[in-house]
Structure 1
């Protein structure tokens, strides 16, 4: 889903709404009551935020095999969301800020609990960084290659590929940020060193 409407940016830029989107991507169709139980929130709050997400096309009501037809189940419309900052930079920056704060909290929480649920099988969190000179076109190419590399795993979320028995839900968060212009040396100064 490519988000271009600034109202949709603002609708998504809420921590509980991001939690709901993530929960629906992992759990599949879920009621507001179940969302509230799993997220430690109230049913009324989850119901309100689900309706807001539905207003902008992120989630929708769906039918399930549940015998209690009074229950309202919600599902994620698309597992991928991306937004374009060009036309509405202020709204996109706010959404970016909320997402980055949320991801940073998740990483810090994992660092604080090294003996977490999957500690014996996983080194959590996996942290890595690399500083390299790149053009905007090269960065775009790298991002497309990473997306292609991860696509088979995304197919598992969509129910189109088998999931290994020892799989766990893993959150990958990728960021590429340019260094400040006043860095001590330019990328061309580094050429030929080594």
Structure 2
């Protein structure tokens, strides 16, 4: 999904809307009531925010639920990706990048603060990794491409096995950010 409208970015700025998108990415289709139970918010609030997301094409109507009274929602694309082209509005780019980084950093901090048995097991096996590498911009691009290729089989599996999740498998966030260190400047 390509976004050029700053208003569409603002439509994503509400934390509940991002939670709804994330929930629908892992368990779609779902009704507003189902989303509310999982997220711990009211059905009315979920319904309102789902309609707002639909207005900008982030979600779509998936037909009636089992009881035929409630509307189900789904993502138009099972692997939603928000894309900006290099020439797009810099304010839109900044808003989108800032939103993604804020969201991922919050999830990382919540994981670090979580103190339960499952988190401990994940921390031992997957955990957090940080590194300082000396690379060119071309090499950074190559690392990103390799990282995406490494994740691809797991992304495809999550789409195919949506209803057949095995015990011990959970959706896990992966976030890659290459942030170049500032260069030393001289006053010569």
For Structure 1 versus Structure 2, the TM-score category normalised by the shorter chain is: 0.7 to 0.9
1:55 corresponds to: 55
TM-score (norm 2): 0.82
Q: For the structure 1 residues 4 and 157, does the alpha-carbon distance in structure 2 shift closer, same or farther, using more than 3 Å as the test?
A: farther
Give the 3-state SS of the residue equivalent to 1:74 in structure 2.
Answer: strand
Q: How far, CA to CA, are the matches of 1:14 and 1:140 in structure 2?
A: 31
Q: Give per-residue Cα distances to partners, 1:164-194, cap 9 Å, x unaligned.
A: 542122111111112123389xxxxxxxxxx
Unaligned runs of 5+ in 2: none
Q: How far, CA to CA, are the matches of 1:10 and 1:85 in structure 2?
A: 18
Shift of 1:84: 1.5
Tell me the C-alpha RMSD between the 2 structures: 2.6
Q: How far, CA to CA, are the matches of 2:9 and 2:136 in structure 1?
A: 27
Q: How far, CA to CA, are the matches of 1:121 and 1:181 in structure 2?
A: 36
Q: For the structure 1 residues 119 and 97, does the alpha-carbon distance in structure 2 shift closer, same or farther, using more than 3 Å as the test?
A: same
Are 1:126 and 2:127 matched, yes or no? yes
Q: How far, CA to CA, are the matches of 1:145 and 1:121 in structure 2?
A: 23
Shift of 1:63: 2.7
1:168 corresponds to: 170
Q: How far, CA to CA, are the matches of 1:31 and 1:139 in structure 2?
A: 41
Which of structure 1's runs of 4+ aligned residues deviate more than 6 A? none
Alignment of 1:10-21 (within 5 A): 10-21=10-21
Q: How far, CA to CA, are the matches of 2:181 and 2:123 in structure 1?
A: 31
Does the 8 A contact of 2:4 with 2:92 survive in 1?
Answer: no
Q: How far, CA to CA, are the matches of 1:4 and 1:159 in structure 2?
A: 31
TM-score (norm 1): 0.80
Which range moved further: 167-176 or 4-13? 4-13
Does the 8 A contact of 1:15 with 1:98 survive in 2?
Answer: no
Unaligned runs of 5+ in 1: 185-194
Are 1:110 and 2:118 matched, yes or no? no
Q: How far, CA to CA, are the matches of 2:160 and 2:98 in structure 1?
A: 31
